């Protein structure tokens, strides 16, 4: 695998995350994007390189990242529902 800086890989993957969250209401989009940026930065360099390779080959996210986007989205919805803001 080519040697790419961690932040460059995170940026590449965030492009796909932002495409996935593009139709979310703005506050939800911002919250999920912020969570996903933190999540991606917590991954090891190897995990990031694998995710980046999948992205380059298929222009899609690895299932683990898709799962985290869904989990963050559902978490946001639950948080807002508890406060009656939905």
Residue 43 within any structural domain of the chain: yes
Residue 77 within any structural domain of the chain: yes
Residue 59 within any structural domain of the chain: yes
* Mean pLDDT score, 61-86: 91
- Strand, helix or coil at 62? coil
Tell me the pTM.
0.86
* Cβ neighbourhood burial of 50 (10 Å; 0-12, 13-18, 19+): middle
Half-sphere exposure of 63 (CA within 13 A, CB side): 0
Residue 38 within any structural domain of the chain: yes
- Domain range for residue 72? 6-82
- From the CB of residue 23, how many other CB atoms can be counted at a distance below 10 Å? 8
Residue 60, pLDDT score: 82
Q: Which two tokens stand for residue 66?
A: 């898709």
Average pLDDT, the chain: 91
CA separation for the pair 84, 33 (Å, rounded)? 22
What's the number of domains the chain is made of?
Answer: 1
Residue 1 within any structural domain of the chain: no
């Amino acid at each position: 695998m080519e040697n790419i800086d961690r932040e460059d890989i995170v940026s590449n993957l965030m492009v796909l995350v932002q495409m996935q969250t593009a139709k979310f209401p703005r506050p939800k989009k911002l919250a999920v994007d912020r969570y996903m940026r933190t999540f991606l930065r917590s991954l090891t360099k190897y995990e990031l390189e694998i995710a980046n390779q999948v992205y380059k080959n298929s222009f899609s996210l690895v299932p683990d990242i898709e799962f985290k986007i869904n989990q963050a989205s559902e978490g946001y919805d639950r948080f807002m529902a508890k406060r009656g803001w939905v």
